[in-house]
Amino acid sequence: MNKFDQSESSLLNRASSIEIGKNLRKTHPLEAHEFVKRRPKDFSSNAILEKSNKDRLPELIPIRYGRMLASPFTFLRGSAALMADDLSRTPNSGIYVQACGDCHLLNFGAFATPERKLVFDINDFDETLPAPWEWDVKRLAISFLVSSQDNGIDDETARLIAKTCVRSYRENLRKYSKLSPLELSYKQLDLAKYAQNAPTKKTKLYREELIKRAETRVAEYLFPKITTEIDGKKRLLDQPPLMFHPHKANFDALAKMAIKDYRESLPHDRRVLIDRYQLQDVVLKVVGIGSVGTRCFVALFMTPDDEPLLLQVKEARTSVLEPYAGKSKYEKHGERVVVGQRLTQSSADIFLGWTRGAEGRDFYVRQLRDMKVSFSFDEVTPARLENYAEYCGKALARSHAKSGNAAMISGYLGKSDVFDEAVSRFSMEYAKQNQKDYDTLLHAVRKGAIKASTETDS
């Protein structure tokens, strides 16, 4: 199969790209995306999950499983490695983009640009890697279908919500393919406009509430809630088992070395900015579902005038896509995450950087929260999920257009809904597989073969 990566196709004109895309339909029919290939006979979903636990903090692995077992949707969120294996056996056009790698509906949301404007975009890049664009689209569509089912929405409506997401991706990608590279690089999904263009008054009120909530998710609001003062110095509070100071004799020294290395990854002007703050304290923090057990830290910095800065230092491991899409060209996985984020996001955190710890583990660094909010599952309705699916499809299209050849993908997809329909039906079938895998894990936990716990159990 031909592989069209970003560098090879970037200098093709739009007409040539569209024609190549159209011709790809002959060898990779759009209808073929409906089918789920059977797994190998010796396949074990639990074995893949257990393999993904390698080098995680062992005491946190039961919490990971406990969070995954909350519902089939939380299982889907935590099993990116399992789905990457399945996606590798599905048809793809061979057109590569900078893929998110873990493209589900809760890895999209609002966050602040350096100009303090709220925008909507992908906001998680732990698994980012150049890979077939279809993998992101399919995982996103499936996430909408499974979350719809989890919220009591009937199967056919759930399928149509997934189809809306794919249709939005296809239609918006065509629009983005007509923009110049410079126009595309400036393109942002403004959350204020998102609220203004709401289809109903109720939806507008919800989106305005989302903006208000985002504005409170900054260091100035969070700082008093998670800090205390000891011997005249600010310290982060221990809140075990989710946030605590590691019991390691030389931990503070190792943290300072890692921060010093991180500083070198920043542009010079950002180094001047970070130098105005001094590291005060670092704690280990349990985050997400798929990330539970990996090393994630919150670092507290203060100015001489007691103004806080909270940074998240998160472990960057090998992407779940790497066994199927190829090895990253970056030696440090923190750099892989940062470059992938900058390639695809409309605006990146000013403190975004990477470091390699003294023990050889890679990390990336960004501000903690910084107006970051995701979709709320309070009062879920089909209309709300459909509106959100429309916007996520649009955001993913902008991301892929920025890093890949949008015209070639658009030429392949065409103007009909054949691909939308195929992926929505694929999502229905994969949702059944996801349920089986969820049940398999639950059975293993009930037998005692795998340990799972809630935070209160730990």
pLDDT digits (tens, 9 = 90+) for 11-48: 789 999 999 999 999 999 999 999 988 999 999 999 99
8-state DSSP, 302 = E
| CA–CA gap between residue 100 and residue 203 (Å, rounded) | 28
pLDDT at 166 over 70: yes
| CA–CA gap between residue 300 and residue 311 (Å, rounded) | 7
Confidence of residue 7 (pLDDT cuts 50, 70, 90): low
For position 200, what pLDDT does the model report?
75
Q: What is the dihedral of CA 167, 170, 172, 176, to 10 degrees?
A: 180
8-state DSSP, 59 = G
pLDDT digits (tens, 9 = 90+) for 286-337: 887 888 878 889 999 999 999 999 999 999 999 999 999 999 999 999 999 9
Averaged pLDDT for residues 226-232: 87
Contacts of 93 (CB under 8 A, 6+ apart): 21, 24, 28, 132, 133, 134, 409, 412
Is 144:389 a contact under the CB 8 Å cutoff? Answer: yes
pLDDT at 110 over 90: no
CA 268 distance to own-chain centroid: 28
For position 458, what pLDDT does the model report?
45
pLDDT at 411 over 60: yes
Q: Give the chain's length.
A: 458
353: left (phi over 0), alpha (psi -120 to 50) or beta: beta
Contacts of 303 (CB under 8 A, 6+ apart): 276, 277, 278, 309
Confidence of residue 456 (pLDDT cuts 50, 70, 90): low
- Whole-number average pLDDT of the chain: 90
Q: What percent of the chain has pLDDT over 70?
A: 94
Is 409:20 a contact under the CB 8 Å cutoff? Answer: no
Q: Which helix (H) or strand (E) holds 134?
A: helix 133-150
Closest by CA position to 394, among listed 235, 142, 164, 218: 164
For position 1, what pLDDT does the model report?
42
pLDDT digits (tens, 9 = 90+) for 385-398: 999 999 999 999 99
Averaged pLDDT for residues 225-248: 86
For position 99, what pLDDT does the model report?
97
